[in-house]
Amino acid sequence: MQSNVFNHFYLATCLLCLSLVTGCQSTPANKSAILLAQQGNFESAKQAIRTDYSPNGKSKLLHYLELGMLNHLQGNYERSNRLLTEAQEIIEAQYTISVVESAVALVSGPTYTTYAGKVYHRPLINLYKALNYNALANRAGPNKQQYLDSAMVEMRQLDTYLSNLKSETGGYKKDTEQAPTSDQLINKIYRIIQPIFAPSDLLVNIDYKDDAFAHYMSGMLFERSEELDSARIQYQRALSAFENGFAKQYNLDDKKITAQVYTDLIRVMTKAGGYHNEIRKLKKKFNHAPRGAQLPLLNVVQNVGIGPQRKEFNLLLKADNESKALVMTPILWGTDKERKAQMRWFQMLFADTSIFDMVQNYALGDIGDVAMGALTKRIPLGSLWDDAEDAGLIQALEYGSRISVTYLEPLQQQVKSSEVWVNGQKAAELDKIYSVSLLTLQDALRNANSEIQVALTREIIKAITAQKTINATGLDQSFAGFAKFATSVVNAVTASADLRQWQSLPAQINYVQIPLTKGTYEITLKTHLTSGKVIEQSEAVDVSDSITLWHTRTFLHQSRVTVPESTFL
């Protein structure tokens, strides 16, 4: 009998170790796919997506998003747009997750729901579809206007989406926290664990409020099609967003960016005519004379790198009978850098003051000196302790419960500077105009509280259900204790986080505008890395319209990117 008990405990210990190993996730298929793409191996990249993300499964959105981006990079613009259109329709259909899926996720885990994407994915879908249409227009000859008109449809859809977002939220995205259900046990658990979470007013500076970059790109594309009134409106909206906090929130050089948008706005008003008073006010405010409207302009947009990966982060929740408190402790796992990042993430979630500066440091890859393993979150329950005992929560947490959520790997600042050379002569340096990585980071932190709340509730319900089952068996105390421990281990093994994301997005986007006379130019983009390496990309660009847009994707682990991965518009 003792031998059997020993064997059972040995097995349970092995399962516990296995539960920790599950916290160290292997590279997901879409991260592998974009790593293959940066080496030019697009067919293998697309096969990796098709294998792991079914067009009909719970992750079908990723099937279309990732394949849409891979075809965009490859120059298959029509195919890319068909795939991105499918992705857009899925997002619209999944605007609200069904009650049934929410209930299943609460018991089984978040990956049992259909992935619906992020609020900032829709503007990026419209943007990349418009860029595809412009590339097709550049190739189309007499059918050029047809594609330009399609690009403008995308920009109008983008404007409608952002206008509705601001109208519905007042400029801030509504909370997406899982609402308590009518289930009495679930409501009781929510009430008990609510004090664990950081006050919502600590997160106001990292909410997705508007998209100045999307407005600006929309203005640029409208101007290219000579729709000057629409271009003016979009430039005005971009300027307002940049000035009123977008630049600060996403760590951009607000002086350079606002100077550029002022220049564009004044230029469009001058070309349209009838805005003499408005132009005079803008010049007085900004003290800036615009470039001559007669010069063609080359706009260089550089999509840089690969966005950060979502990873699994584990927490241990236990009930402390002596102090009548719930105690949450991070379970650190992985490399030294990963463990420090997990600890810093925990600190950001439960900071007692505003976390904005801490988030900005994290975005720069500075996770600082972290006291490893020294931090816990202790929540005295006071009068709620009796409620917790009545609900069976305290007994269920005797051996602790593993909570599995996500964190974002620290952002790496690998780019020192980027330059544009025209016919062998340096013309300008690019400035960061959009940080997809910081947008992703802030969105992850904003949703972290609700993610932990749902994960906690799910694991507690599993533990309470298991406890009731054990009590119903009538086992004696010694075996009941073992059964409870073994059940706790099994629950830990089955705990999982939702690591799904649109991985092929760039880390950041750089931009510069250069006045040129009409003609064909050899445009070279030189990207200087902090390692000292320089990545060069070159292409012959025909500047024949008043506005020409050349955009490219710069991967940081390849010496030269081939022509199909860059386009001029």
Q: Mean pLDDT over all residues of the chain?
A: 78
Start-to-end Cα distance in the chain: 77
3-state secondary structure 468-497: HHHHHHCCCHHHHHHHHHHHHHHHHHHCCC
- pLDDT of 531 > 70? The answer is yes
- pLDDT of 197 > 70? The answer is no
- Report, as an integer, the average pLDDT of 396-402: 75
CATH number at residue 427: 2.60.40.10
Per-residue confidence (pLDDT) for residue 344, from 0 to 100: 82
What residues contact 289, with CB distance under 8 A and at least 6 apart? Answer: 283
- Report, as an integer, the average pLDDT of 6-32: 54
Give the lowest-confidence range in 192-196, 241-245, 275-279, 486-490.
486-490
Torsion angles phi and psi, residue 127, rounded to 5: -65, -50
Tell me, yes or no, whether 334 lies in a domain: no
Tell me, yes or no, whether 519 lies in a domain: yes
Give the lowest-confidence range in 127-141, 216-230, 339-353.
339-353
Give the lowest-confidence range in 72-76, 144-148, 565-569.
565-569
Share of the chain above pLDDT 70, in %: 71
- Helix (H) / strand (E) containing 527: strand 519-529
Per-residue confidence (pLDDT) for residue 249, from 0 to 100: 86
Tell me, yes or no, whether 569 lies in a domain: yes
Distance CA 229, CA 252 (A): 27
Give the lowest-confidence range in 245-249, 316-320, 436-440.
316-320
CA 266 to chain CA centroid, nearest Å: 33
Tell me, yes or no, whether 280 lies in a domain: no
- pLDDT of 529 > 60? The answer is yes
Distance CA 440, CA 504 (A): 13
What residues contact 446, with CB distance under 8 A and at least 6 apart? Answer: 173, 203, 206, 207, 208
Per-residue confidence (pLDDT) for residue 394, from 0 to 100: 81
Give the lowest-confidence range in 115-124, 238-247, 287-296.
287-296
More confident residue, 103 or 551: 551
Q: What residue spans of 26-120 are helical by DSSP H?
A: 29-37, 42-52, 60-74, 77-93, 99-108
Per-residue confidence (pLDDT) for residue 204, from 0 to 100: 53
**Residue 181 pLDDT class (50, 70, 90 cuts):** very low
**Residue 67 pLDDT class (50, 70, 90 cuts):** very high
Give the lowest-confidence range in 2-16, 43-57, 119-133, 359-373.
2-16
Give the lowest-confidence range in 161-170, 470-479, 560-569.
560-569
**Residue 495 pLDDT class (50, 70, 90 cuts):** very low
Per-residue confidence (pLDDT) for residue 490, from 0 to 100: 40
Residue position matching structure tokens 């990349």: 128
- pLDDT of 376 > 80? The answer is no
Per-residue confidence (pLDDT) for residue 172, from 0 to 100: 30
Per-residue confidence (pLDDT) for residue 227, from 0 to 100: 94
What residues contact 165, with CB distance under 8 A and at least 6 apart? Answer: 119, 173, 210
- pLDDT of 156 > 80? The answer is yes
Question: Number of C-alpha atoms within 13 angstroms, CB side, residue 250?
Answer: 30
Tell me, yes or no, whether 186 lies in a domain: no
Tell me, yes or no, whether 532 lies in a domain: yes
Distance CA 381, CA 196 (A): 10
- pLDDT of 189 > 50? The answer is yes
- pLDDT of 235 > 90? The answer is yes
- Report, as an integer, the average pLDDT of 5-21: 43
- pLDDT of 540 > 50? The answer is yes
- Find the domain containing 301 and state its range: 297-307+412-435+507-569
Give the lowest-confidence range in 58-62, 200-204, 295-299.
200-204
pTM for this prediction: 0.81
The answer to whether 528 and 418 have CB atoms below 8 angstroms apart is yes
Domain count along the chain:
1
CA 255 to chain CA centroid, nearest Å: 26
The answer to whether 326 and 196 have CB atoms below 8 angstroms apart is yes
Per-residue confidence (pLDDT) for residue 472, from 0 to 100: 60
- Report, as an integer, the average pLDDT of 330-353: 78
Please provide the size of the chain in residues.
569
Tell me, yes or no, whether 533 lies in a domain: yes
Kindly report the number of other CB atoms within 10 A of residue 478's CB atom: 9
Per-residue confidence (pLDDT) for residue 492, from 0 to 100: 41
**Residue 562 pLDDT class (50, 70, 90 cuts):** very low
- pLDDT of 442 > 60? The answer is yes
- pLDDT of 132 > 60? The answer is yes
Per-residue confidence (pLDDT) for residue 173, from 0 to 100: 35
What residues contact 343, with CB distance under 8 A and at least 6 apart? Answer: 330, 332, 370, 371, 372, 373, 375
Give the lowest-confidence range in 9-18, 364-373, 550-559.
9-18
Tell me, yes or no, whether 112 lies in a domain: no
3-state secondary structure 347-377: HHHCCCCCCHHHHHHHHCCCCCCCCCCCCCE
Question: Number of C-alpha atoms within 13 angstroms, CB side, residue 90?
Answer: 24
- Report, as an integer, the average pLDDT of 80-109: 74
Distance CA 54, CA 62 (A): 9
